[in-house]
Structure 1
Amino acid sequence: MTARTTRLDDGVRGALRAMGAAAGKGLGDPGLAELVQIRASQLNHCAFCLDMHLALARKGGVVREAQLGLLSAWEEAGDDVFDARERAALELTESVTLLTEGFVPDEVYERAAAHFDAARLAHLVALIAAINSWNRLMVARRIPPGATDW
């Protein structure tokens, strides 16, 4: 597979970086932000974003290794691996990421709303939207893990 090296201009990259940074800051939980971005990247098969966010999650121990190892099977992992808040965020991540399967079910949104106030929930949805945009930009152009000129 050959990378399609059409470079994004600084305006697009800057806008998406700013959106992701603001959403992550508003969420207020760096570890959860990384879990959400990794899960969306797994679903979208984005090797570039997976590589980057796995490294960020491990940096400084923001996310436990057990969570990283079991993230693709989070529904089957025990409550000692993912708590109810993390599960609600991951379920919402999957629903927003897989919109082609239908709308985000009300019960999924309500489960997330039970764990996040309105502002943090809005930031969580914005973070999911941002990583999905990054995933699509990188996958469509086949940007490989670790690439620096994209």
Structure 2
Amino acid sequence: MTHRMPFSSAAPAFFQAQLKLTMAAKKGLGDDVLAELAVLRASQLNRCAFCIDMHVQNLRAAGVDQQRIDLLPAWEEAGDLYSERERAALAFTEAVTLLTWGSPRSSGAETGGGSVPDAVYERAAAHFTDVELAHLLAVIVAINNWNRINVTVRAQPGEKM
């Protein structure tokens, strides 16, 4: 597969704004590892090889155990490998990322036709302040933007944006 366009130079103002948006979202969350787990999970769901590669490298550089990285697609079945706070964030990430599909662990009916289920939101709200939850949501929105850009332009793992 070949890269379709150099997005960063084709839309430089948007690209720079998206970078700033991403940095502002992560800064307000205050937990870099949790943010990286969330963006990696969203990228897995969106099948963005470029972003998966980048965020796996970020987690390794942060000293996250390889088993936690490897088992992220099965986080709910991984026992105590992820904290309850991380599991709440991952469930929230999946619900926000898959708005029109429902959770990969549900029939989709529980989502109310394209919404984040109350139970998922309440679970996350029990572990995060309003400010933290707003920034987690912003992190998820930002990575979904990046995923859509990078999948569309066919950005390849390891290449420069």
Q: Quickly name the TM-score band, shorter chain normalised.
A: over 0.9
Scaled by the length of structure 1, the TM-score of the pair is 0.94
Task: Kindly report the root-mean-square deviation, in angstroms, between the aligned alpha carbons of the 2 structures.
Answer: 1.0
4+ residue segments displaced more than 4 Å: none
CA drift of 1:6 comes to 4.1
The answer to whether the Cα contact below 8 Å between 2:99 and 2:115 also exists between their aligned partners in 1 is yes
How many angstroms apart in 2 are the aligned matches of 1:139 and 1:129? 15
Structure 2 gap segments, 5+ residues each: 102-113
Shift of 1:147: 1.4
Counterpart position of 1:54: 56
Choose from 9, 12, 15 the match for 1:10. 12
Is the CA contact 2:49–2:157 (under 8 Å) kept in the aligned structure 1?
yes
**Partners of 1:68 and 1:27 in 2: how far apart?**
20
Query: Percentage identity across aligned positions?
Result: 56
| Aligned residue in 2 for 1:72 | 73
SS at match of 1:89: helix
Superimposed CA distance per residue, residues 47-69 of structure 1 (whole angstroms, 9 cap, x where no aligned partner): 000111111111131x2222101
Deviations 1:2-32 (A, max 9, x none): 2212433221111111111111111100000
Q: Deviations over 1:78-116 (max 9, x none)?
A: 12x011100000000000000112210011001000000
1:94 equivalent in structure 2: 94
Count residues in correspondence: 147
2:30 to 1, 22, 28: 28
**Equivalence for 1:112:** 124
TM-score, reference length from structure 2: 0.88
The equivalent residue for 1:84 is 84
SS of 1:147 mapped into structure 2: coil
**Unaligned runs of at least 5 residues, structure 1:** none
Secondary structure at the counterpart of residue 127 of structure 2:
coil
